[in-house]
Amino acid sequence: MDYVYGPGRNHLFVPGPVNIPEQVTRAMNRNNEDYRSPAIPALTKTLLEDVKKIFKTTSGTPFLIPTTGTGAWESALTNTLSPGDRIVSFLIGQFSLLWIDQQQRLNFKVDVVESDWGQGANLEVLASKIAEDKAHTIKAICIVHNETATGVTNNLATVRKILDHYQHPALFLVDGVSSICALDFRMDEWGIDVALTGSQKALSLPTGMGLICASPKALEATKTAKSVRVFFDWNDYLKFYKMGTYWPYTPSIQLLYGLRTALDLIFEEGLDNVIARHGRLAKATRLAVEAWGLKNCTQKEEWFSDTVTAVVVPPYIDSSEIVKRAWKRYNLSLGLGLNKVAGKVFRIGHLGNLNELQLLGCLAGVEMVLKDVGYPVKLGSGIAAASAYLSNTTPLIPSRI
């Protein structure tokens, strides 16, 4: 894709990285500091306590690691499992595929449960595998909560019910990269042992921080896990937690200050309000897609994601042309179709620090792009459907108003 300068600001509607609020940008606009001074440990202590709130846990132990979601994946696996351990993992899209690839390259024995792209994880197969595993050879269940390639959200509560029903001790590991702080997520209630997310998603920060939270059961598993780990070793962190200095190596100081402000903004709005806002914007987007006469890649309503909508295009249109034209002509960034859905879908990300007017601007841009590439869209149809819904539903009132 050739670079072409576009006037005005870029309209960023990929499912991560997302728009960064000005308050966060200002908070990060600072010089470096000595992270061994009293200031950074004091900041870190409050961050660790407040991060637990976005995972909805009181018993979990959080880790703030300078990495991406991919590094957070590796941290979750290597701290709790040993090479050769049997795990069940669900392949439902590009990011679950990448996590499975990592699991296999780390020498775990992976039972891959595959679904058509656009469907959720096949939990009936999981129930069958758990029921048959009388010897408890399955050591972990790995699942992507929200698959951004297809706009599918999985039911984590059902996974926990299956494990509890058969009294199976497998660890429950969850990729919440594009769900935590945007979708309903309850680490303690759903008995999740390791949950993780990335700073560039619903937290609306720059890329570069992996946030991981481990249950007491997961921490106990580290004592017997034989996977090689150095940079991602939780035990190094725990040692420095006890010392009160918190960091086994140099943290990303600017990101820590950004995280402080990002959390403050979320708590000021109210986490439940943030989740409800994502639900409203997602519903408005789906109504717009329907008004355009297009279909959602996600095949059932129960799987609809509230952070990204993958839109299926007619066979005579290459969806990559929609993404390319949106960027070159309108300075609008949309998500490409990936792997099996490349050329077949484009993705509208609607997560992070985002409001109704920003979304409507995106939908207007998509309509113009659809017309440009020859799709017979009625201009204004999607905007009308979305705005009618948004104007007739009452958002929860942020506490600052």
pLDDT tens digits, 298-356 = 999 999 999 999 999 999 999 999 999 999 999 999 999 999 999 999 999 999 999 99
Please answer whether residues 307 and 280 qualify as being in contact, where contact means their C-beta atoms are separated by less than 8 angstroms: no
Place of tokens 């960064």: 20
Is 347 annotated for ligand binding? yes
Place of tokens 């780990």: 229
pLDDT of residue 7: 80
Distance from C-alpha of 188 to C-alpha of 194, rounded to nearest angstrom: 10
All domains of the chain, ordered by start, with CATH? 11-19+270-391 (3.90.1150.10), 22-267 (3.40.640.10)
- Strand 61-65 versus strand 210-214 pairing type: antiparallel
Alpha helices in 179-318 (DSSP H): 216-221, 234-243, 253-269, 271-291
Please answer whether residues 209 and 182 qualify as being in contact, where contact means their C-beta atoms are separated by less than 8 angstroms: no
Q: How far is CA 317 from the centre of its chain?
A: 29
Distance from C-alpha of 387 to C-alpha of 373, rounded to nearest angstrom: 24
Q: How far is CA 207 from CA 66, 204, 212, in A?
A: 9, 9, 15
What tokens were used for 9? 């600001």
The values of phi and psi at residue 19, to 5°, are -60, 140
Q: How many CB atoms lie within 10 A of CB 361?
A: 15
Distance from C-alpha of 27 to C-alpha of 15, rounded to nearest angstrom: 24
pTM of the model: 0.96
Please answer whether residues 174 and 24 qualify as being in contact, where contact means their C-beta atoms are separated by less than 8 angstroms: no
Taking every pair of Cα atoms in the chain, the longest distance, rounded to a whole number of angstroms, is: 64
Q: 3-class DSSP state for residue 210?
A: strand
Distance from C-alpha of 148 to C-alpha of 336, rounded to nearest angstrom: 11
Distance from C-alpha of 25 to C-alpha of 206, rounded to nearest angstrom: 9
pLDDT of residue 396: 61
pLDDT of residue 4: 67
Determine which helix (DSSP H) or strand (DSSP E) holds 320, and give its type and residue range: helix 319-330
pLDDT less than 70: residues of the chain: 1-4, 395-401
Alpha helices in 38-177 (DSSP H): 39-55, 69-78, 94-105, 123-132, 156-165
What tokens were used for 268? 């000021």
Please answer whether residues 162 and 130 qualify as being in contact, where contact means their C-beta atoms are separated by less than 8 angstroms: yes
